[in-house]
A and B are shown apart, each in its own frame.
Chain A
């Protein structure tokens, strides 16, 4: 068969595939625009998926033939473009709906946290040890706070939690609650992202950011306790800390997972190991973002509310800690007897 015969015989199918693709690529935009009205009248010829798939496979076959028979480049180039576009349309995932989110929150995220418990342990220790050590050290020698924070920041802490004239939360209206909400989102999620991203440097970045943030938090706690503002501070942090501190540890653990893949890739190449680690870590990051959003909300609207007595805050805070730990430890475990089915199942 000569190239001309080949082209004239198959051209109708290629044209049909091309127009279907154009309609689909356009249709996506059109349906979005017309989403308020009645469901867009879909042209069945353009939206019969089985037919589209058949056309696509036929085009793939034609491309393979054209390549092996060394047909002119303009022919193969057209087929390459066509198959490439069709491949993109056909293999696009479309299950981003609520069902996926629900499964992520109820099963995949807590399961993934448990599956990575070793990383959680290391990240937790790297975060908590500096926190307690610097906390104790600063408690006995408040001047040490200056080794982590500058003097201006330390003065602000005094101002915020001390019994001064304008302490945090007392005179604050609903407006500034919102400002703090925005501030916490930007700040804390940014910190969590850093803890994760630092992991690609063989885990060193994650270790550094975890330890640094632990030290920063610990020194503030120790300093304020030594100055006698302990109750104001602890009642402030106890509730959102349940979400915020765990989330930062989880983000750091996700970063350590990346680092471990590079240091000890096992039987994979380092690159393959890194890819696998990143796809596992992404699930942890989704959860981290959600937890930090919750934390920001609590921090802005509940923790700062000074009309709530510290006792109530401690109670609610304790409940939140129990809730978070229970969620991470127990949620999403397969029902008894289903272990075999779920074993080894991982969402990417």
Chain B
């Protein structure tokens, strides 16, 4: 976790840190547009279905309009999943900024304050607030103490590729061990050239033998396996 990452950590009562990844303005705009589309579809279908009925249909339509305008997000945020369909499609969900599931009061507050975020036009204040803050909260999120996060976890690191285990040339610090194992875990994501290039930086740890790069990589992978516990 470097200062570049836009992560928020929240401490759980069990003494661990929950790592939350707040969602930025682009992902949230997509989610909002999808939701807007869904809302519009609901209203169009309802207006066709209820329009054929008598005035009772008109009343139901007005009530539905109110519900869709104000309470659509509240309803979905309180269901398991804590996300409107649009957010779910983009892979977002809403949490308290303590990492806890969202409470009804918080959901109500953050969605009523949409009216403030919307001003002066087209979510102007909301956008400014999101762009200024590292945790991308809009005004409603600030007041309610909520956070829109990416729900899924990305797997950047796979399991380590096989290599004959090999003891390092010298005792490695915990940090060095972690770096070497993390490097090996990224084998499938890095291009071979970059992978080799990084391996060369660690040559001193593997032992002095400046032969070709591919062998250095193999040896470092061996060290990584050794560090994991293979002998």
Contacts and interface: CB of A to CB of B under 8 A. Distances in A.
Interface string B54-78: 1110111111011001100000001
B202 to A, nearest CB: 15
A117 interface: no
Interface string B7-43: 0000010111011000000000000000000000000
Contacts of A87: 12, 14, 18, 99-100
A225 interface: no
Interface in A42-62: 56-57, 60
Contacts, number: 167
Nearest to B175: A70
Contact of A72 (B113, B145, B182): B182
Contacts of B116: 197-198, 200-201, 205
Nearest to A281: B109
A98 interface: no
Interface stretch (A13-21, A148-156, A175-183, A238-246): A175-183
Contacts of B108: 282, 285-286
Interface stretch (B83-91, B151-159, B193-201, B211-219): B151-159
B101 interface: yes
Contacts of B80: 25, 28-29, 92
B144 interface: yes
A39 B227 CA distance: 51
A182 B229 contact: no
Interface string B136-160: 0001001111000000010111111
B105 interface: yes
Contact of B56 (A175, A278, A283): A175
A81 B112 CA distance: 31
Contacts of A271: 142
B207 interface: no
A178 B230 CA distance: 75
B106 interface: yes
Interface residues of B, number: 58
Contacts of A5: 229
A73 interface: yes
Interface stretch (A125-133, A158-166, A184-192, A330-338): A184-192
B62 A72 contact: no
A282 B105 contact: yes
A72 B160 contact: yes
A77 B181 CA distance: 14
Question: Which secondary structure dominates chain A's binding surface?
Answer: helix
B168 interface: no
A64 B78 CA distance: 31
Given A4-B229, A69-B174, A74 B159 contact: yes
Given A70-B174, A186-B62, A282-B109, A91 B70 contact: no
A60 B15 contact: yes
B178 interface: yes
A49 B104 CA distance: 24
A185 B155 contact: no
A307 interface: no
A193 interface: yes
B15 A64 contact: yes
A72 B185 contact: yes
Contact of B153 (A80, A176, A194, A348): A80
A257 to B, nearest CB: 11
B165 to A, nearest CB: 11
A197 B125 CA distance: 13
A83 B155 contact: no
A3 interface: yes
Identify which of B16, B100, B114, B115 gathers the most chain A CB atoms within 10 Å of its CB: B16
Contact of B155 (A77, A88, A189): A77
29 contacts: A2-B228, A4-B230, A5-B229, A57-B14, A60-B15, A70-B175, A70-B181, A71-B181, A72-B178, A72-B181, A72-B228, A77-B157, A83-B12, A83-B16, A87-B14, A88-B101, A91-B101, A175-B54, A178-B58, A181-B59, A182-B61, A186-B62, A186-B69, A275-B142, A278-B109, A279-B106, A281-B109, A282-B106, A283-B105
Given A70-B178, A80-B19, 10 more contacts: A73-B156, A74-B159, A81-B153, A83-B14, A182-B58, A189-B70, A278-B145, A281-B109, A285-B112, A348-B103
Interface of B: 12, 14-16, 18-19, 54-56, 58-63, 65-66, 69-70, 78, 80, 99-101, 103-106, 108-109, 112-116, 139, 142-145, 153, 155-160, 174-175, 177-178, 181-182, 185, 227-230
